[in-house]
Chains A and B, each alone.
Chain A
């Protein structure tokens, strides 16, 4: 399936993932690891291991460190 991803701060792109993919797979398609980002659907964070259930998501790279 194709998912339109808005990478906040970078713009939109479309990625293809298997029909049974989870959001972590979408993130990896973007070149990020799941711990670096949060996926938002309709403005709310979704678990990385939840099956993809939206054709448009926003991916927010986290601001964190030590």
Chain B
């Protein structure tokens, strides 16, 4: 399960909306509980440096490393990542599966719009397993 603070959820949706036709991406920071739940306390936006940002996303490795170090310095851990599908679909794409490299981590996908959607999947190393997404009270 992926549990987000309201502020984290809003930040992802705001970022996705601001991206317009381009995909946006970022890193989810928080902690893992003993039952495997990923609790997200902070959202770190990253620049999408993919060559074709309408249909691809990629975080520059040096920015990624800086974000991870910032998260660890704050006493948190990386629990997952997010990106948007401006035109849908609200599920991981084949490219998402081909490029996924963090087994056990959450990959959240946001579809912005009048009725925004946020779903999340855990990468097993072989496939994406859908997980529940919940908001927790502040």
Contact between B93 and A66, CB atoms less than 8 A apart? yes
> Given A32-B101, A61-B102, does the pair A8, B68 have CB atoms closer than 8 Å?
yes
Are B96 and A63 in contact, with the CB atoms below 8 A?
A: no
Interchain CB contact under 8 A, A62 and B95: no
Within 8 A of B (CB), among A25-51: 32, 36-38, 40, 43, 45
Q: How many residues of A contact B (CB 8 A)?
A: 17
Q: Do A63 and B65 contact each other (CB < 8 Å), given the known contacts A9-B78, A36-B99?
A: no
A38-B99 in contact (CB<8A)? no
Cα–Cα, bound, A45→B59 (Å)? 14
Cross-chain pair count, CB within 8 angstroms = 62
- Give min CB distance, B128 to chain A, whole Å: 10
For the residues of B in contact with A, the DSSP-based class is mixed
Q: Which of B63-87 contact A (CB under 8 A)?
A: 64-65, 68, 78, 81, 83
Contacts of B64 in A (CB 8 A): 60, 62-63
Q: Does A65 contact B (CB under 8 A)?
A: yes
Task: Tell me whether A66 and B95 are in contact (CB under 8 A).
Answer: yes
Q: What are the interface flags for B40-76 relative to A under an 8 Å C-beta threshold, 1 for contact and 0 otherwise? A: 0000001000100001111101101100100000000
Q: Which residues of B contact A9 (CB under 8 A)?
A: 68, 78, 102
CA distance A37 to B99 in the complex (A): 10
The answer to whether A66 touches B99 (Cβ under 8 A) is yes
A residues whose Cβ falls under 8 Å from a Cβ of B: 8-9, 32, 36-38, 40, 43, 45, 58, 60-66
A-B contact pairs, 15 of them (CB 8 A): A36-B99, A37-B101, A45-B61, A61-B101, A62-B59, A62-B61, A62-B101, A63-B59, A64-B58, A65-B83, A65-B92, A66-B56, A66-B94, A66-B95, A66-B99
